[in-house]
Amino acid sequence: MFELYNIIPSVYHLIPRGSITGAEITSIFLAYILPGILIGGGFALWYVYVFLKSYKPKNADEFEKEKYNKDMDMRPGRIENLERGNKTIFKIFVLFVVLILLSLLVYDLPPAYGIRVAGAAPSAPTDSHHYMDIDVIGYQWQWVFIYPNGASSRHFLVLPADTPIQFNVTSVDVMHSFYLINVTKVDAFPGHYNYIWSNITLTGEYQFECVELCGLGHAHMRGQAFVLPKAQYQSWLNTTRGGEMVEQFHVGTYSENYGPNNYDNGTIITPPSAGA
């Protein structure tokens, strides 16, 4: 699949490379931002060229005459000459703005009314048999993940590649924000679930963290996500213990959660070993 970071290395770390989000951002860039840069840059260069070509050094007499004419134009009651300026440049600028606005309108129209120039955004699966649910629960100052078989983990997350995944995100205390870097981001509110889905296409290790300031231990609210091939993920999931309830997690104080030798207390299952 064509990706933007293959042709513009400087944006390599800015485009989400591991999920469908990256493809969507690439299509938007190619449809609007890149043409805007090329057209805008070309217009600026053309304007500079016209300015330099029309510029003529003035001698002292011409300078004084021009200065006198400007001073006369500033007399009280005098209406400035409205014919000044380059009408052609102004018309081109207005046309450019109108085209940009129309293209954005067409892009945002539903498929029944318009054409999504950059390609339609993937729709979330509606059949539960075609996606996997992961419950994400935030609390001060850790993340708890509940897998389809009922097993739970914290400080780490394990996911299958090339699988639609719906993240069901909530909080048990204050507002948090779950950010799976290069994949997705969603806020976590107490007593409310936010739902977001993604499909991670590249295996490997990812990072997740809380990006909503939530108290003293906010900086520790991070961990690793392991994205495995489907078969390897299923093999790992089969070795985990199910049936654990999130209420069994002890929401302790900062010192209890992050004191000496306590950082990993409460982890029910272990992440896959390297090369497993």
**In the chain, ranges of CATH 2.60.40.420 domains:** 129-258
Tens of pLDDT, residue by residue over 229-266, are 999 998 888 887 654 433 344 444 444 444 333 333 33
pLDDT given at position 275: 46
Q: In what order do the strands lie in the sheet with 204-210?
A: 156-160, 222-228, 204-210, 176-180, 184-188
What architecture does CATH give domain 129-258? Sandwich (2.60)
What pLDDT sits at residue 111?
42
Phi, psi of 18 (to 5 degrees): -100, 10
Secondary structure (H, E, C), 124-163? CCCCHHHCEEEEEEEECCEEEEECCCCCEEECEEEEECCC
Given this model, what pLDDT does residue 177 score?
Answer: 94
**Which residues fall within 8 angstroms of residue 23, CB to CB, at 6 or more apart?**
1, 3
Could you read off the pLDDT of 26-37 as tens digits, one per residue? 666 666 677 777
- Burial of residue 100 (CB within 10 Å: 0-12, 13-18, 19+) is middle
Strands (E), 148-264: 152-154, 156-160, 164-171, 176-180, 184-188, 194-199, 204-210, 222-228
pLDDT of residue 201: 84
Which among 238, 166, 227, 240 is positioned nearest to 201, based on CA atoms?
Answer: 227
- Residue 57, SS3? coil
Amino acid 44: pLDDT: 79
Which has the higher per-residue pLDDT, 186 or 69?
A: 186
Q: How many CA atoms lie within 13 A of 174 on its CB side?
A: 12
Average pLDDT on 50-74 reads 61
Dihedral of alpha carbons 99, 31, 16, 163, sign? positive
- Give the SS3 label for residue 41: helix
CB half-sphere exposure, 212, CA atoms < 13 A: 17
Q: Is the pLDDT of residue 213 over 60?
A: yes
| pLDDT tens digits, one per residue of 132-159 | 889 999 988 889 998 888 888 888 899 9
Task: Tell me phi and psi for residue 202, to 5 degrees.
Answer: -115, 130
228, 160 contact by CB (below 8 A):
yes
DSSP letter, residue 175: -
φ/ψ of 157, rounded to 5, equals: -140, 140
Phi and psi torsions of 40, nearest 5°: -65, -40
pLDDT for position 253: 40
The pLDDT confidence band at residue 169, using thresholds 50, 70 and 90, is very high
Query: Greater confidence, 218 or 131?
Result: 218
| C-alpha–C-alpha distance, residues 274 and 276, integer Å | 5
Token pair listed for 262 = 């306590």
